[in-house]
Amino acid sequence: MKRLSVLGSTGSIGTQVLAVAECHPDQLEVVALAAGRNTDLLIHQAKRFRPRLVSVASPHDAARAQDALSDLDTRVLCGAEGLVEVARAGADLVVGALVGRLGLEPVLAALQSRTDVALANKEVLVMAGPLVLREAERSGARVLPLDSEHVAIHQAMAGHPREGVRRVILTASGGSLRGASREEMERATPEQALSHPNWEMGPKITVDSATLMNKGLEVIEARWLFDLDPDRIDVLIHPESIVHSLVEYVDGSWLAHLAVPDMRIPIAYVLGMPARLPLSEVRPLDLAAIGALHFERPDPGRFPCLELAWHAVRSGGTVPAALNAANEEAVGAFLERRIPFTGISSAVRWALERTPAQPGFVLEEILEVDRGARAHAREWVEEHHA
Ligand code: MG
């Protein structure tokens, strides 16, 4: 039996993790859950899985959850402290599925308590890759991917000596504005940016997918997860989202991972490791029906966020943390209709130019850069919003 703690249990990844756990009650036990504001769903999940501990955002939500769960033996906590407690609740695997900067301290807490982490919350490695990996090395806990591309690479690299790897290629669907012109992007509404052709995901990552910032963050994530020099990582647009990523070896062989775009597949891989958990409800992959798979290079002129991410990963230190922080602010402002879609990359560039870089080996330094970059991104938003 593998015991799971889920950080972000009511979000897109969290609910799918629980859907997989529900199909395999003989192999997966849910011991702790943390949610944000969706207390109703958390209460429902707690009644279903009977975890020892749950955490919600505020004391008010905690009182409500406490009331609803009074007949269970479940402790209820809240806030940042609750997240950290869920991370160290004695699970075998912590699923890090929070969004953005919020996930950093709980992930560090899980690693410090020698618990493996499966990381869907990619901002954690983007902000603090060296710090997170150092914690993992100290405690012997593992940082496992829970992003479809990185789970694909993990499988394509399994059992192969690392010296044999020449390059890793991350695929990107191209998001909701793949075919849009600069002018169409200028006018794109949150509704348009949020209508992703292939994947059902939360709003922040769906906008990141439309700007290709998501792929940029994944390049940084791959750099740390697989200890790769950034020059050995490449990105290809693949609109069908069937090939999830590829590994090129020094002998010219390529290994690809193929599956229908359904997050339950990578989730089941990571939760089941080393076993394969059967997933009967997933739509089968029918290559004959799909017929052709397409690949193209991303257009740097239309997707400046990807270029900003390349700049950040090559610069190193706290530059990726600044990129991530400015992007979180800019995406929030776009979703609130305060800036246009194309303003996201402008706000991020503005913030990067004004946030001094630090080596980034200490949490305080990273958090200071995070705050600084957010403030600069907000400055840009204030100056430019209509
Ligand atoms: Mg991904």
Give the DSSP H/E element, type plus range, for residue 256.
strand 254-258
Distance between CA atoms of residues 325 and 323, nearest Å = 6
Cα 215 to averaged position of ligand 1 atoms, centre (Å): 7
Domain ranges of the chain: 2-146, 177-260+301-315
Residue type, 87: A
Distance between CA atoms of residues 73 and 251, nearest Å = 57
The predicted-structure confidence for 189-234, as pLDDT tens digits, reads as follows: 999 999 877 777 788 989 999 999 999 999 999 999 999 999 999 9
Tokens (6 digits) for 96: 């890090």
Distance between CA atoms of residues 303 and 320, nearest Å = 17
Which pLDDT score, from 0 to 100, does residue 385 have? Answer: 73
Which pLDDT score, from 0 to 100, does residue 248 have? Answer: 98
What separation in angstroms does the CA of 23 have from each of 37, 40, 120, 215? 26, 22, 20, 31
**Residue 11 Cα to chain centre, angstroms:** 12
Q: What averages of pLDDT result for each successive group of 10 residues across the chain (386 residues)? A: 97 96 97 95 98 97 97 96 97 95 95 97 94 96 97 96 96 92 93 84 90 97 96 97 97 98 97 94 95 96 96 96 96 96 97 93 92 97 84
The reply to whether CATH 3.40.50.1240 applies to domain 2-146 is: no
The predicted-structure confidence for 269-314, as pLDDT tens digits, reads as follows: 999 999 999 998 899 999 999 999 999 999 999 999 999 999 999 9
Cα 173 to averaged position of ligand 1 atoms, centre (Å): 9
- The whole model's pTM is what? 0.94
Which pLDDT score, from 0 to 100, does residue 386 have? Answer: 59
Which pLDDT score, from 0 to 100, does residue 232 have? Answer: 97
Which pLDDT score, from 0 to 100, does residue 360 have? Answer: 79
Which pLDDT score, from 0 to 100, does residue 198 have? Answer: 79
Cα 143 to averaged position of ligand 1 atoms, centre (Å): 16
Cα 319 to averaged position of ligand 1 atoms, centre (Å): 21
The predicted-structure confidence for 86-98, as pLDDT tens digits, reads as follows: 999 999 999 999 9
Cα 272 to averaged position of ligand 1 atoms, centre (Å): 19
Cα 295 to averaged position of ligand 1 atoms, centre (Å): 17
Which pLDDT score, from 0 to 100, does residue 312 have? Answer: 97
